[in-house]
A and B are shown apart, each in its own frame.
Chain A
Amino acid sequence: MTTPAIPDPAPIALSHVSKTFGTVRALTDISFSVAAGETFGLIGPNGSGKTTLIRLLLGLGQPTSGSVRVLGFAMPDRRAARQIGYMTQASALYGELSVRENIQFFAALYGLHGRDLRARAAEVLALVDLADRAASPVQTLSGGMRQRVSLAVALVHRPRLLFLDEPTVGIDPELRHTFWDYFASLNAQGVTIVVSTHHLDEAARCHRLGLLRFGTLLAVDTPAALRAQSGQDDFEQAFLYFAQRPQEVA
Chain B
Amino acid sequence: MSALLGRNSMDEKKLFKSLSDAILSYDSAAAEKAAKDAIRAKVDALKVIEKGLVPAIGKVGDKFEKMEIYLPELMLAAEAMKTAMTLLLPLVPKDKIVSKATVAIGTVQGDVHEIGKNIVSNMLMANGFNVIDLGVDVKTTTFVEEAKRSNAKIIGASALMSSTIGSQKDIIDYLVSLKERKKFAVMVGGGPTTGEWSDEIGADGWGEDAATTIKLANKLAKGK
The judgment on whether A and B are partners is no
B-to-A contact residues, CB < 8 Å: none
